[in-house]
Structure formats: structure tokens, C-alpha cells
Amino acid sequence: MKLKPSHIQEFINFSTTQEGNVFFLSGEWTLQNIPEIEKKLKYIHEIKHPSHKIILDVSGITLIDTAGMLFFMEKRETLRKKAVRERDIVVRGVRANNEFLKMFKLIKEHKKAETLPKTRSRHPFVAFFENIGRHFYNGIESMLLFFDFIGRTYAAFLRDLLHFSFRFKEISNLIKKAGVTALPIIGITTFLIGVVIAFQSAVQLQQYGANIFIVEIVSIAIARELSPILTSIVVAGRSGSAYTAQLGAMKITEELDAMSVMGFDIFRFLIVPRSLALIIVLPLLIFFGDIMGIFGGMLVAKFQLGVTFTSFVDRLHSSFAMRHFYAGLIKGPFFAATIAAIGCFRGLQVTRDTESIGRQTTISVVNSIFMVIIIDAVFSIIFTELGI
């Protein structure tokens, strides 16, 4: 069979013979040559000859890499799909050398493996315990990372304490953000809780003529439990989430990496000031919450039970033991240290995508509230055993 190419180009020669349309593929079919090859192959689909038999002669290809083979197989598949639509079209390749055949076989087997159907799903019983194991492992890993974080924070605090090199300006600024700006929401929250407790108690006390006991109910409940818990929850949702978002944003923008490269200890410059600020400010917020909560109860006692302000204050002075006030106040530093640690830790757990900030902030708030309730329960047990 004598072939007379009618259109000669680099990478592809075309000729019409008695057997059909023959395309002589030649040259180096590599990644860098694919754009040029694609331009010269466009006219393949435009050829209209009496014979619709297409022969791909690949003997002239001197070098082909993975990208080139994938490109060849894609074009070959395109011609085969056309053959499905037009039954009189036949596509076949001829005169391939050994290297070409090895590459073709390798790529074909790999693509076949990718298209194999997925394995049968596992039994629900097995999947259930597998999920339990995965969550347990992730929980243990997260707990170990948290302990490592606590150790690094404590070591940085000790270094600052030994050299008395605390960043007082940064701490004072954080106290303002976490404390002063939180006074309105803390005041409103505890005031309304005091009102609610007093209203609910007033209904029962009126039945027995024990109106004056509203003082003990409101003052002890607010000072011992409700003010510390509610204040800590508000701070966790406000300052704890802010710590997570701030550190997470710094991690995404690679500010933390830049600080580490420049020799700054992020625990000393970022974690310790935030922790100290919250430890200082939370007991003060609890004290403010005590005042507002008791004041709310005082108003209800005045207008619902007829207990005057003077009678309320006198009864408070004579019956309210300071141990209840101290029992609530002493929880503050422990709540604050927990909220700050969880907030900062979750901020450092943020990955390189913005979605992670929202996810870690949510986890931070949930974990902080959960741990505050657990710590409060532990204190309640200890105080009960000690008779406080």
C-alpha cells in the first residue's frame, strides 16, 4: 500500500488510501507540545471523505509521556463516540512500538481501576463501632494537644512571672474589651434573672405569708450560683469566641507564622495576656452581676410583696452570710482560665480555610459552656462537703 500524504504537518500527516483515512502521528507527544498538537488535530473532525474508516498510525511517535498518552486516549475516545453515532465509522490504531504499547497499557489499567464500582458498603453494626472508635481517637488526640497547649501557656506565664515582664499595656486593653464593654449585657442579664427568680418565688411565699424570705432566696441564688454561671456563659460567648476568631484569622493570614519566624513566642505575646485579662476581669463582672441581680429581686420584692428597700437591705445585712458571696466569687478565676484556654486553643486549631474559623468558634463556645457547668458542679460538691 503506497501512501501519498495530501496534507503534511509536524505531529500529524494525513492521507487518503483505499483502506480509509490514515493519520500518521509523529514527533514528541509531551506535555509542552500538547497545545500545538491540539491545534493541528482540530481538522480531523472536519474531514469529509467517502470512506469513514479512520486509521491512527502511531509508529512515528518518538516520545510520549503520561500527559501525551492521556491526550491521545481522549482524542481516540472522541472518535469512538462519533463511531457510535455514525455506524459506518471505524477507528483503529496500527504500528505501535513497544514503548507506546507499555504506556498505553499502564494508563488504561489505571483508568480502569478508577472506574471500578465501589466496594460493598460495610455492615451498619461495623460502621457504628468504627465511628465510635474514630471519635474516641480524635477526642484523645485533641485532649493531648490541649494538655500540651496548657503546658506551653503555663511555662510562658512562669517566664513572665520570674522576669516580671508582663505586657501590661496589652493586658489593660484586653481588660477593657472583655470587661468594661461587657458591663451592659452582664447587667441586663443578671438583673432580669433576679427579677425572674423573685417573681417565681413570690408566688409561693405569698401563700405562707413568708414574704421577707424573698431576700435569702434571691441573694443566695444570685451570689452563689446564677451570677457566676450566667456571667461566665456570656463571657464565653463574647470574649471566648472573640479569642478564637482573632487567633484563627491571624493563622489564616500567616501572622502567627511570621511571628514565629521573627522569634516571637506566641504564647507569651498572645495567649498569656488574654488569659490574665480574663482571670482579672471575670470576678469583677461576677460582683457586678451580684449587685444587678439582687437589685432586680429588690424591685420585685417592693412591688410584688410589699417589702420596702430598707427592710430588704436590713434583712440582707443580717441574714446573708459572706461565705455565699465568696463561694460564687472564687469560681471566677477558674471559669476565666478555662474559657481563655479553650478559646485560644481552638483559635490555634483553625486550618487554612475561612470555614474553619466558624466551625472552631462554635466548638469553642460549646466547649467553654460545657466546662463551666462541669467546674461549677465540682465546686458545688466540694462546698457541700466542706459545709461552705
pLDDT tens across 52-88, in order?
Answer: 667 777 777 888 888 888 888 887 777 766 655 554 4
Span 166-201, pLDDT tens digits: 888 899 999 999 989 999 999 999 999 999 999 988
pLDDT the model gives residue 117 = 54
Q: Which residue has the cell 503555663?
A: 154
- Residue 94: pLDDT band by 50, 70, 90 thresholds? low
202 with 303: CB under 8 angstroms? no
Taking the C-alpha atoms of residue 380 and residue 374, their distance in angstroms, rounded to an integer, is 10
pLDDT the model gives residue 356 = 87
Helix, strand, or coil here: 93? strand
231 with 186: CB under 8 angstroms? yes
CA atoms within 13 A on the CB side of 174: 26
**Which residue, among 178, 214, 175, has the nearest Cα to 298 in the 3D structure?**
214
Express as a percent the part of the chain with pLDDT over 70: 86
Higher model confidence: residue 46 or residue 262?
A: 262
Taking the C-alpha atoms of residue 64 and residue 37, their distance in angstroms, rounded to an integer, is 12
224 with 200: CB under 8 angstroms? no
Q: What separation in angstroms does the CA of 146 have from each of 141, 313, 331?
A: 9, 46, 21
Q: Which CATH entry fits the domain spanning 7-114: 3.50.50.60, 3.30.750.24, 3.30.1280.10, 2.30.30.60?
A: 3.30.750.24
Q: pTM for this structure?
A: 0.66
pLDDT the model gives residue 7 = 41
Predicted confidence (pLDDT) at residue 6 exceeds the cutoff of 50: no
- What angle (nearest 5°) sits at the alpha carbon of residue 239, between those of residues 235 and 244? 130
> Which sequence spans correspond to the domains of the chain?
7-114, 138-386
